Structure 1
Amino acid sequence: MMARARFAMLLMSAAVCPAAALAQDHHAHQMPSVPAATPAPAAPMPAMEPGDPAVVSTSPGPELETPPPPEAGKGPPRAADAIWGADAMRASRAELQRMHGAFPLAWFQLDRLEARVGDGRDGYLWDAQGYYGGPTTRLWVKSEGEGRFGGRVQDAEFQALYARAIAPFFDVQAGVRQDVAGPNTTYAVLGIQGLAPYMFELDAAAFLSHRGDLTVRIEAELDQRITQRLIVQPRAELNLAAQDVPQLGVGAGVDTFAVGVRLRYEIAREFAPYIGVEQQWRTGAGARFARATGDTPRSTRLLLGVRAWF
């Protein structure tokens, strides 16, 4: 009878609060308590030095990595040759080099073909260059010249240069230059051409003529994209000479300095007309030679031209 009453009380408690009923039932059947075992103290971690293997295995960076084992690097430089033979691997190695760019290319660019208007000396100018060769050795050809509309060509030069890469973005160039307008002059050429930091295109060369005259030309330009097709290009050119060259109208020191800017629009990537303006100065003896021929030492010209490559 008492058991039935107790069961009825449990049912009533569960209806009101199930959690309380469960707790009451749990306490009613609680097992005698057993003292908890005291955990054993943890063994102290041994001190580890930076060179220990345990530290090396969890190293987050290269500063704690172990050096390579002594046997590393003692095998053949081309392990496949030791298995298949050098003759069998030669063709495969050549194909791998070609896949990574070791093949000859031909490229030509008409960098400037422009009409130049200003100071009563309207004229034209061309500046072209190209090469044939691989990624590290190339044959370069260059031509540059200018003249006046309705008159003769004033300056014209052609260069043939052998180039070899000396850095990822620079070639050293050596060869010959021949001037065919005015006094015929042959030069030995030594220069450097490439892409300087901040994307400046640099072309610098020293010229030693067959008469012993030494001159230097430095050109730099920078392409700044306004849009995918509209590009503004600042450009500067500096010509120096170690001595006066009266027959060429060149003065010692800084003979000519020119700065300009061109704005071109790429109708296609290979073809872009442009407009621009350029300021040029002649200094020292160069200014004196310019006055003697009826030119002014300082001139400003408007430019209209086209740039193309293939």
Structure 2
Amino acid sequence: MHIIKPCTYTVLSLALASVTQMTMAQDANHSMPMSAQHESHSSLDSSHQEMQTGIESSQIEHAEHAEHAEHANASSIASRTTSAQHPVDHKREHGGQIYQATEIDNRWLNNADGRGRLKTEIESRIGTDENKLFIKLHADKAESQDADYAAQVMYSRMISDFWDAQIGARYRVDEHQVTDKEQLDAVVGLHGLAPYFFETDAYLYLGADKQVSFSLETERDLLLTQKLILKPYLNLDVVLSDDSAYAQKTGLSSVWLGLETRYEINKKLMPFIDVAYSYEKGNQHTAWQAENGSEKQWWYGAGVRLKF
């Protein structure tokens, strides 16, 4: 529509001008001599030819515009068809990259009685934003005692912007036990960021001899400066059921509530100091162990965290 109107106006204008000139020329011919009339006819023929040339030019221009528009429409349709047949994959630009991160946490703690305790945590993850493999290693060694170990391997799947659902297995070794030193548990849980920026891990463990327990770990960083950071944390374990030879008392089994103050030399090396309060409920009486009561104590110490 935008192409046809200018062409139509041009043709009408040229035709009207030609008719006017022809009328004026015919009136003038009656009072002109023959030579002048001949010149007038020549001028009229020239004007008529110019009008015909203008009309032909307008028609050609209109045809060229129509052809150009048709070609543009055809190109647009072909482009949309090609895009539909061969969609562009933007996953690598929007969370599809495979990345790996490992964190090693070593801390030495002492209680009020001067007994020391070394705790080591290693967490490694590899995968994309949607699908990851989590590996967690834990070692806890009290002074002058054998260490307890646990290894946890889980598949992690993103279920929302801030939460991953995880499933896997945990292998643990307790050297304090005479029998059943090695245990294998199924694990299902959630990993993510709770409201108010609390990084949270919540797991349900299912093992042999009706061993069912729940663990919760949550923490949050509070920045004093860009490098000096406070981190309150809470770790708790709840025993739901336990009929094993070294059964723990059901209910709230243990709690660690602490405050860590770290200084980030860089994003790979972070020393810290730690103050914590712990509660442990104790074990049931079985054929393999005597019942013991709960313990409450304060812990203080230092450590270093590595990330790469």
Q: TM-score, structure 2 length as denominator?
A: 0.67
Matches of 2:266 and 2:132 in 1, distance apart? 27
Instruction: Report 1:98-177 matches (<5 A).
Output: 98-110=92-104, 112-118=105-111, 119-153=113-147, 155-177=148-170
Q: Is the 8 A contact 2:283 2:292 kept in 1?
A: no
Displacement of 1:244 in angstroms is 4.0
Q: Is the 8 A contact 1:245 1:251 kept in 2?
A: no
Change (3 A) 1:124 1:81: farther
Displacement of 1:85 in angstroms is 5.7
Displacement of 1:181 in angstroms is 3.0
Match of 2:305 among 293, 296, 307: 307
Q: Is the 8 A contact 2:211 2:244 kept in 1?
A: no
Matches of 1:100 and 1:140 in 2, distance apart? 21
Matches of 1:81 and 1:219 in 2, distance apart? 52
Match of 2:256 among 255, 258, 277: 258
Displacement of 1:222 in angstroms is 0.7
Unaligned 5+ segments in structure 1 are 1-78
**2:171 corresponding residue in structure 1:** 178
1:214-273 deviation per Cα after TM superposition (whole angstroms, max 9, x unaligned): 011001111101000000000111100112456445220101111010100001111100
Any idea what SS the aligned residue of 2:256 has? strand
Letter in 2 for 1:167: S
Change (3 A) 1:83 1:186: same
Matches of 1:306 and 1:168 in 2, distance apart? 30
Displacement of 1:307 in angstroms is 1.1
Q: Is the 8 A contact 2:117 2:140 kept in 1?
A: yes
**2:229 corresponding residue in structure 1:** 231
Letter in 2 for 1:172: A
Change (3 A) 1:81 1:193: farther
Matches of 1:266 and 1:181 in 2, distance apart? 34
Letter in 1 for 2:252: V
Q: Is the 8 A contact 2:210 2:242 kept in 1?
A: no
Change (3 A) 1:278 1:157: same
Letter in 2 for 1:174: I
**1:281 corresponding residue in structure 2:** 279
Letter in 2 for 1:168: D
Q: Which moved more, 1:201-210 or 1:292-301?
A: 292-301
1:155-194 deviation per Cα after TM superposition (whole angstroms, max 9, x unaligned): 2100110010111011010000000233210000001010
Change (3 A) 1:215 1:296: closer
Q: Is the 8 A contact 2:210 2:241 kept in 1?
A: no
Match of 2:187 among 161, 165, 189: 189
Displacement of 1:148 in angstroms is 2.1
Letter in 1 for 2:102: F
Q: Which moved more, 1:126-135 or 1:223-232?
A: 126-135
1:180-217 deviation per Cα after TM superposition (whole angstroms, max 9, x unaligned): 23321000000101011111010000000133310110
Matches of 1:165 and 1:122 in 2, distance apart? 39
**1:214 corresponding residue in structure 2:** 212
Matches of 1:300 and 1:287 in 2, distance apart? 24
**2:196 corresponding residue in structure 1:** 198
Q: TM-score, structure 1 length as denominator?
A: 0.66
Q: Is the 8 A contact 2:209 2:242 kept in 1?
A: no
